[in-house]
Chains A and B, each alone.
Chain A
Amino acid sequence: MAPMIEIKNAGFRYSSKSDVIFSNVTFTVASGEVFFLIGPNGAGKSTMLKCLSGLLPTSTGTVQLNSRDIRRLSATAVAQKVGFVPQSLISAFPFLVRDIVVMGRAARLGLLASPRKKDMMQAEESMARVGILSLANRRCNQISGGEWQLVLIARALTQSPAILLLDEPTSHLDLGNQIKTLMVIQQLAAEGLTIVMASHFPDHAFLNASKVAILKDGGLINIGSPDEAITEQSLKAIYGVKVSVRYIGNGINRKVCIPVLNN
């Protein structure tokens, strides 16, 4: 499959005086993949997603989007291809959910234009896709964390992107909302979207990842299929605790990660 995003020898630091966040990272994300970025707190997953979306420029190396250097593309051009779902967002004003979702049309509208009926219909379609159409007329400060995450995904979908970058979309959610969000992501992947997501849950990679990259101490230490990348050894290396990886049959038919206390 064609590479959608290619990151080559990339490194990042905020300024020449500050610490290196990561360096010498190379990988490609192919079209249609569900790519998991896993690593401990502070490993630089969010920073890397921001580099992949062009929000931060890499200090060394390159990021290519459809074989074009992302630094040569305008914010508008990137936003037409890449939808970015931030970890969390605080709105200073109590906008209606529909008004937030329709913001995704910004990259498709001229500087002086504002959304018309056709744009609002597209926003409604995205809300329906992630199952939040009923929230359309609610104020964004009156919805739960799980609903807010889905609102942000719907907004990114309204950009009509080919790639969706998600920064820990399940981190602040309860178990039910975690799985709902993962199911939405899986369905979007089935519809042909390329997905890159940072996650704190290696377990979720067994649910719907096609490829997993592990970021630790400023470098990529492992990359491959979930089976290859997530092993008892690699989990020990990432988190510094003992985690057992077991295959469970009986209708579940997948591997699970089980933390073990007495190591």
Chain B
Amino acid sequence: MENRGMGISKVHLSLLCLVSLAVFGSLALGRIEVPPVVILKILLSKMLPITQSWSDTIDSVIMDVRLPRIMAGVLVGAGLSISGASFQGVFRNPLVSPHILGVASGAGFGAAVAILLFNKILFTQLLSFVFGLAAVGATYSLSRVYKMTPVLMMVLSGIVVGSLFSALTSFMKYIADPMNKMPAIVFWLLGSLNHVTGEDLWIVGPVFALCIGLLLAVRWRINLLAMGEEDARALGVNTEQLKLIIIISATVITASSVCISGIIGWIGIVIPHIGRLVVGPDHKHLLPASMLIGAAYLVIVDTIARTVLVTEIPIGILTAIIGAPVFAYLLRKNKAGM
């Protein structure tokens, strides 16, 4: 037992180092390459009295352009992965993604409406968040039978609500002006960390922190739900309460992610699988590990998205191109997808 505990905390520590490395590397790379020493000086100069020996442009590239974007990558990557791992536990299914209850479709519709009507990024973010939550609310109430919300009913309701919002989004695209509105909708649906500002982070950062904190706090109990609801109740768990805490936290994280970065698929499915390969299926260890792997992964992929081609590649396309084969490999390697 002692050894196992030590081993796990070492794994978490190495993953933390990986995240820091990815962040640091990403700060250095881009159209202007900045030497690591300079980056360190710039970061420290905000807290310590260090005289500026670098240009204002470099300062602005690091602090105003790259840092917010990378921090958003950390938040969204960590958030989608921990939500995915939690949803997979609650729904007892390793193939579930954080979008299972219709968040993505609802948020996509909200964003499409906002782009059509307002053309202001703030409204796009706001409406996608609101509609993302509304979709999950609809799924939850649709699946409620006899004062309970059976898992299968929730998954099926999620499919129904998701399809409805997808159809509505298609309709929005159909009536949108094909010269400028439609590309904006499509680009947003593909996901990108391009628009994130420091201000956004001050608003969504605390929301992420709170919800991730809640999931981490109840993470051992996800094991109990993963054995089945009746079994969890026999073990003394108030399953409706626990499910509500987990679903609300994971949904708010997902909706917040979608609202700052559009729909970035596959992370929430693939990363928890990699987490299981590293630390095993116990959610006590899986949630922190997934969170760290997801953060590092999204920062790395986003760095690729913005450096490889002259124009930026939408990150949702990259995560799918990388995610699908990796997932296929994991499926074949572990047979039952475990």
Binding site for B on A (CB under 8 A): 15, 53, 55, 74-80, 84, 86, 89-96, 99-100, 103-104, 106-107, 111-115, 117, 120, 141, 155, 159
Contact = CB atoms under 8 A, between A and B. Distances in A.
Contacts of B89: 93
A51 B338 CA distance: 35
A207 B228 CA distance: 33
Best-buried of B93, B221, B224 by chain A (most CB within 10 Å): B221
Contact of A96 (B94, B226, B242, B280): B280
A93 B224 CA distance: 11
A183 to B, nearest CB: 24
B237 interface: yes
Nearest to B240: A75
B187 interface: no
Contact of A117 (B1, B235, B237): B1
A209 B325 CA distance: 57
A51 B218 CA distance: 28
A111 B220 CA distance: 9
Contacts of B312: none
Given A75-B236, A79-B235, A86-B231, A93 B220 contact: no
B219 interface: yes
Interface of B: 1, 89, 92-94, 146, 217-221, 223-224, 226-228, 230-239, 242, 276, 280-282, 284, 338
B214 to A, nearest CB: 9
Contacts of B338: 93-94, 141
B235 A107 contact: yes
Given A103-B224, A114-B219, A115-B220, A95 B234 contact: no
A178 to B, nearest CB: 23
A112 B217 CA distance: 5
Contact of B221 (A91, A92, A111): A111
Nearest to B220: A114
Nearest to B283: A93
Contact of A107 (B146, B231, B236): B236
Contacts of A114: 219-220, 284
Contact of A74 (B227, B238, B284): B238
A141 to B, nearest CB: 8
B231 A159 contact: no
9 contacts: A55-B233, A77-B236, A78-B236, A79-B235, A93-B338, A112-B218, A117-B1, A120-B1, A159-B235
Contacts of B94: 92-93
Ranked nearest first, the 9 interchain pairs of A and B with the lowest CB-CB distance are A79-B236, A107-B236, A114-B220, A93-B281, A92-B92, A84-B234, A76-B236, A112-B217, A106-B235
B282 A86 contact: no
Best-buried of B1, B146, B224 by chain A (most CB within 10 Å): B1
Nearest to A92: B92
Contacts of A99: 223, 282
Contact of A75 (B219, B237, B276, B281): B237
Contacts of B230: 55, 86
Contacts of B282: 95-96, 99
Contacts of A103: 223-224, 227, 235
Contact of B281 (A78, A79, A94, A111): A94
Contacts of A86: 230-231, 234
A130 to B, nearest CB: 17
Contact of B227 (A79, A91, A111, A141): A91
Nearest to A99: B282
A152 to B, nearest CB: 9
A78 B235 CA distance: 9
A115 B284 CA distance: 10
Best-buried of A91, A104, A141 by chain B (most CB within 10 Å): A91
A199 to B, nearest CB: 19
A153 B276 CA distance: 27
Given A55-B230, A89-B228, A95 B236 contact: no
Given A55-B230, A55-B233, A75-B233, A95 B224 contact: no
